[in-house]
């Protein structure tokens, strides 16, 4: 491997002590091809917690030096041509997400079974014939996708009570011939997809899975033709009821058998299942009350993905930016908008250190004219229609704000400067000011000072474009954005639970108007936004798999 030429992205990640590195696409693939592999200095970036190398057909192997990246929480190696993965992957003890989908893998290393923190495993679209024994050691595993392989069955220890968090199993388009009745041991199983396999039977024990909500067995030639017809058209509940009935029928047949113990075991299991179902239903009710759901829409899944281009000049002014789009935020009901703006102010005062650490800006997506550019302008050339004001230059605006802040200080007879003074000082002496500019050349944001009247959010706003900027670090931006989204989820849940305010507009006049279903749902959809440099190279995508993950037990993230 020739390392005489260091890769700029890797050098930058090392210099800036970044925790996230994304390498993808034709330009990276060309370097991999000429270099004989990845730049080996990648494996010295020990601070990384997110590494993605994708869409690179020239990438056929990963060096064993990957074992040094022990802080990795997400390793995304999808859409390459990897023929193998080194067994030392088991050294990555912090790994939570492993995506090896769309490669040329014929076997998974046993090292995968040593990943005790692993919760998501995606090995779909490969040529795997077996899964490694010992997956039950990955006791935090929540989701596994092995679809579109050549797997003929699950290893024996897969049906283990140790995997009590495993909720999603996607194994469609394989060669699986048998599903063991031990499947009932997966107590958390909610989604099971075994469509397009070689199954002849579906065990009645499947009905003993207390949380199972969604199953698919389409495309299997089952011996029970009635059941085959059902799986091609019926809902999950109907199929489980049918399997439950079959199980009871088989019990009756077993009564005269010498093997009557099996019938007794079945009865006990059914009694246990009923208890588990009752306990599970009660638990689900409690979880439903406390749960806030955020669904992430990937850039590749979005019909019109929004990208923000960052100029090189912002590096010396305010270099860090993360953005995303939020749908499903109900600002129409009652005082929802007011509560949201107050929450944003509180984040500015607390987590953002009165805007000295980071600044949040929110925009109405319908008023955005894309593409967006994060750029710099001379103070006299930067013109903006600030919130609640007429158009003026940055120099004029800051002068007005200084006068207002000084007047406020005098009125309150304070000796110290106000919070407003503090963040006005951040731009003092800067020859250039940072700003976000839309496709029409209008400045829509002037951090850390204000954003524009043009994209101001209102009660009628249905989609929000969120931005967080900072001169401190990229992780600071992400932490603030995480906190903002959690607060939005909390507010949306509160609004959904207090729909008596809906329609009254918070003014107390007239009877409430019933809200439509889109307003009563508390689920938020977060659409990823990429920020790129002027050459189109990715700087950051938010949210990534490592975002929205810290101390958020009451927040469910659906990727």
pLDDT tens digits for range 220-257: 999 998 888 888 876 788 888 888 887 665 444 444 44
Flag whether 428 is in a domain: no
Question: Collapsing DSSP states into helix, strand and coil, what is residue 145?
Answer: strand
What is the distance between the alpha carbons of residues 538 and 9, in angstroms, rounded to a whole number? 9
pTM of the entire structure?
0.55
Q: Is the pLDDT of residue 299 over 80?
A: no
Residues 202 and 238 in one domain: yes
Q: What is the CATH number of the domain that holds 79?
A: 3.80.10.10
Nearest CA to 203 among 217, 191, 190, 213?
Answer: 217
Residues 161 and 74 in one domain: no
Q: What is the pLDDT of residue 520?
A: 44
Q: What is the pLDDT of residue 354?
A: 82
**Pair 437, 375: CB distance under 8 Å:** yes
Q: Is the pLDDT of residue 308 over 50?
A: yes
- Proportion of the chain above pLDDT 70, given as a percent: 80
**Lowest mean pLDDT segment, chosen from 82-86, 248-252, 344-348, 511-515:** 511-515
Q: Which DSSP symbol is given to 417?
A: P
* Helix orientation angle between 236-254 and 260-290, rounded to the nearest 10 degrees: 160
Q: What is the pLDDT of residue 430?
A: 80
For 542, the domain range is 292-378+435-558
What average pLDDT does the chain have? 82
Residues 59 and 110 in one domain: yes
Residues 133 and 233 in one domain: yes
Q: Is the pLDDT of residue 521 over 70?
A: no
Flag whether 285 is in a domain: no
The total number of structural domains in the chain stands at: 3
pLDDT category, 505, cuts 50, 70, 90? very low
- Backbone dihedral region of 228: left (phi > 0), alpha (psi from -120 to 50 degrees) or beta? alpha
Residues 132 and 217 in one domain: yes
Residues 18 and 73 in one domain: yes
- Proportion of the chain above pLDDT 90, given as a percent: 40
**Pair 445, 367: CB distance under 8 Å:** no
Q: Is the pLDDT of residue 272 over 80?
A: no
Flag whether 427 is in a domain: no
pLDDT category, 412, cuts 50, 70, 90? low
Q: What is the pLDDT of residue 111?
A: 94
**Lowest mean pLDDT segment, chosen from 193-202, 325-334, 406-415:** 406-415
Flag whether 83 is in a domain: yes
Q: Is the pLDDT of residue 166 over 70?
A: yes
Residues 262 and 296 in one domain: no
Flag whether 450 is in a domain: yes
Flag whether 7 is in a domain: yes
Residues 234 and 146 in one domain: yes
Q: What is the pLDDT of residue 255?
A: 44
Residues 272 and 313 in one domain: no
**Can you spell out the DSSP letters for 535-547?**
T--EEEEES-TTS
């Amino acid at each position: 491997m020739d390392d005489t030429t260091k890769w700029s992205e890797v050098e930058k990640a090392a210099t800036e002590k970044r925790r996230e590195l994304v390498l993808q696409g034709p330009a990276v693939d060309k370097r991999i091809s000429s270099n004989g592999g990845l730049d080996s200095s990648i494996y010295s970036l020990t601070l990384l917690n997110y590494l993605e190398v994708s869409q690179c057909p020239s990438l056929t192997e990963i060096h064993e030096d990957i074992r040094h990246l022990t802080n990795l929480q997400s390793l995304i190696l999808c859409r390459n041509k990897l023929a193998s993965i080194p067994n030392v992957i088991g050294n990555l003890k912090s790994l939570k997400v492993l995506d090896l989908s769309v490669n040329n893998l014929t076997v998974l290393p046993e090292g995968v079974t040593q990943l005790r923190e692993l919760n998501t495993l995606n090995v779909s679209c490969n040529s795997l014939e077996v899964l490694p024994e010992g997956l039950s050691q990955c006791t935090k595993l929540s989701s596994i996708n092995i679809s579109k392989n050549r797997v003929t069955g699950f290893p024996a220890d897969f049906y283990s009570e140790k995997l009590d968090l495993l909720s999603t199993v996607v194994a469609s388009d394989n060669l699986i011939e048998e599903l063991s009745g031990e499947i009932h041991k997966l107590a958390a199983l909610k989604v099971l997809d075994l469509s397009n396999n070689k199954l002849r039977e579906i065990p009645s024990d499947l009905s003993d899975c207390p949380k199972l909500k969604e199953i698919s067995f389409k495309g299997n030639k089952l011996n029970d033709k009635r059941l085959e017809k059902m799986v091609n058209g019926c809902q999950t509940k109907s199929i489980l009821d049918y399997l439950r009935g079959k199980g009871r029928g088989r019990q009756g047949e077993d009564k005269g058998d010498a093997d009557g113990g099996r019938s007794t075991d079945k009865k006990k299991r059914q009694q246990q299942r009923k208890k588990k179902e009752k306990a599970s239903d009660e638990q689900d009710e409690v979880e439903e009350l406390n749960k806030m759901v955020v669904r992430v829409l990937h850039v590749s899944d979005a019909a019109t993905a929004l990208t923000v281009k960052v100029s090189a000049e912002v590096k010396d002014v305010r270099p860090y930016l993360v953005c995303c789009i939020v749908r499903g935020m109900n600002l129409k009901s009652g005082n929802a908008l007011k509560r949201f703006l107050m929450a944003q102010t509180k984040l500015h005062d607390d987590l953002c250190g009165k805007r000295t650490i980071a600044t949040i800006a929110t925009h109405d997506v319908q008023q955005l004219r894309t593409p967006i550019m994060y750029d710099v302008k001379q103070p006299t050339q930067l013109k903006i229609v600030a919130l609640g004001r007429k158009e003026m230059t940055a120099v004029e605006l800051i002068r007005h704000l200084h006068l207002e802040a000084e007047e406020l200080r005098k009125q309150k007879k304070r000796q110290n400067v106000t919070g407003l003074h503090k963040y006005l000082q951040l731009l003092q002496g800067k020859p250039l000011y940072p700003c976000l500019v839309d496709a029409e050349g209008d400045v829509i944001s002037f951090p850390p000072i204000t954003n524009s009247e043009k994209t101001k959010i209102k009660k009628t706003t249905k989609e929000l474009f969120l931005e967080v900027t900072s001169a401190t670090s990229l992780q600071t931006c992400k932490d603030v954005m995480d906190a903002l989204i959690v607060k939005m989820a909390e507010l949306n849940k509160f609004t959904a639970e207090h729909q008596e305010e809906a329609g009254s507009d918070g003014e107390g006049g007239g009877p409430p108007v019933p809200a439509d279903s889109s307003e009563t749902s508390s689920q938020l959809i977060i659409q990823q936004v990429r920020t790129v440099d002027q050459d189109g190279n990715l700087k950051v995508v938010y949210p990534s798999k490592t975002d929205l993950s810290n101390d958020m037990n009451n927040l469910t993230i659906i990727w």
